A and B are shown apart, each in its own frame.
Chain A
């Protein structure tokens, strides 16, 4: 089980692409990567999750961390989430606070 992360900041839009599984074992490394966005005046946090097969509460906590520490005012997006990931997002009530799309449209 592995996680691949790439992060790009395009004029205040943070594009975060995730592939693999996001669990408690690899969440801390991902959180460290995301910390680079703190103070970067991020207006949108866009998680591209087409190739993310699994997320646990450790991953949800990072989404919450991103909102709280990177951009309290930032809009959150989840793009292309697989059924298993969407199920977890809904179970935790995060779906009410994120824009969920199949493809990213600004």
Chain B
């Protein structure tokens, strides 16, 4: 089970995404699904980078669990409690001039992934996402 820990900084986003893409290789996803996985993971990682550690430095742990038919990705941080499943869905029918900036990333992550679950354990946020090969 490939696992990696990164400082929660924007400059490491590219390396984190590369690590996840590597973990996805075994499953031979099509190009579109890989791009969607990239998007879903970026949205989660960027939330942690921007908000999890408001007054200290912290880290992000990523576990990739490639199975036969699906890829499970676990993203763990020790920052402030944040339950992405509680974020209200944005109204995507609103014209652009009336939109507010938040919520779109997590909304798309939830649309893309087949399963998303969250637990808070011993001061850690643990987000587990799964994406199967079949739509």
Interface on A for B, CB 8 Å cutoff?
1, 23-25, 53-54, 56-58, 60-61, 63-64, 67-68, 72, 76, 83-84, 87-88, 91-94, 96-97
Count of A-B contacts judged by CB separation below 8 Å = 67
Contact yes or no, B38 A83, CB < 8 A: no
Q: From A63, A72, A93, name the one whose CB has the most chain B CB atoms within 10 angstroms.
A: A93
By size class, the interface of chain B is 20 to 34
Does B108 contact A25, Cβ atoms closer than 8 Å? Answer: no
- Docked complex: B91-110 residues within 8 A CB-CB of A: 92-97, 99, 101, 104-105, 107-108
> Closest residue to B101 on the A side, CB-wise?
A61
B contact face: mostly helix, strand, loop, or mixed: helix
CA distance A91 to B36 in the complex (A): 11
In the complex, identify which listed stretch (B6-14, B69-77, B79-87, B118-126) lies at the interface while the others stay far away: B6-14
Q: Is the CB of B99 within 8 A of A64?
A: yes
- In chain A, what residue has the closest Cβ to B9? A25
How far does the Cβ of B94 sit from chain A's closest Cβ, in whole Å?
A: 8
B111 at the interface (CB under 8 A from A): yes
Q: How far is the CA of A84 from the CA of B108 in the complex (A)?
A: 13
Q: Is the interface of A mostly helix, strand, loop or mixed?
A: helix
Interface residues of B in 17-64 (CB under 8 A from A): 17, 31-32, 35-36, 38-39, 42-43, 46, 49
Inter-chain CA distance A1–B112, complex, in Å, is 22
Given A25-B13, A88-B39, A93-B92, 7 more pairs with CB closer than 8 A: A57-B104, A64-B99, A64-B101, A84-B32, A87-B36, A91-B108, A92-B107
Complex Cα distance, B107 from A62, in Å, reads: 17
Known: A57-B105, A91-B111. A68 touches B96 (CB 8 A): yes
Q: Are B97 and A25 in contact (CB under 8 A)?
A: no
> A25 — which chain B residues lie within 8 A by C-beta?
10-11, 13-14
